[in-house]
Amino acid sequence: METTDGGVDAREVVVAAGVWSRALLRPLGYVVPLQAARGYHLMLPAAGVAPRRTLLFEDAHFCATPMDAGVRLAGTVEFAPLGSPPNYARAGMLFPAAADYLPGLRADGATRWMGNRPSFPDSLPAIGKAARHRNLFYCFGHEKLGLTQAAISAQAMATLVAGGTAPVDLSPFALERFL
């Protein structure tokens, strides 16, 4: 395998590059209908309010999460091609919505963030062993549940790479579902 730092010899390769996994597998002939669902958040380091736990505001479609660095407002997403410039107006929409529900909320020092969430049409991740390359494995497409599903996905990958059987049925997550 070639990298920007030169060649690497590996007996097994796991493609786990999030939304960039599609480009890595394309030259090998794999159909990967993966799209970037770009999530935005607004971090409020001096929010003026301190919720004790995550608050979900269903009607306004956002959440407020207490963190060590302040309060994170999140709940907006868009589909856009990789490399597209961020649309930070989406993050900016969060403060007025939150201010309606959280009296005294302040935006002093607020920072915006955008990240690419790897998303499939069926909202399931791709986890498994490649059909046409015996030492190629894949694990990506967890959308906004990457951290939630990280432990079981890592356990499945470690078991597969070691030649064992995954702890759960991985057939629903096979890339072949898109053929």
Give the tens place of pLDDT for each residue, 67-78: 999 999 999 889
Same domain, 134 and 174: yes
Compute CA distances 133 → 11, 15, 41, 106, 159, whole Å. Answer: 12, 12, 39, 53, 17
Q: Which residue, 136, 158, 141, 13, is CA-closest to 3?
A: 13
> Quick one: pLDDT at residue 8?
86
- How distant is the alpha carbon of residue 106 from its chain centre? 28
Whole-model pTM? 0.82
Assign residue 15 the CATH number of its domain: 3.50.50.60
Arithmetic mean of pLDDT over the chain: 94
| Residue bearing tokens 């599903």 | 149
* pLDDT, mean of residues 51-58: 95
82-92, pLDDT tens digit by residue? 889 999 999 99
Confidence of residue 144 (pLDDT cuts 50, 70, 90): confident
Q: Which residue, 14, 51, 30, is CA-closest to 178?
A: 30
Number of folded domains that form the chain: 2
Q: Which of 69, 94, 117 is the last residue of a domain?
A: 117
Same domain, 125 and 113: no
CA distance 26 to 66: 40
> Quick one: pLDDT at residue 145?
85
Domain that holds residue 81: 41-117
Same domain, 113 and 167: no
Same domain, 112 and 45: yes
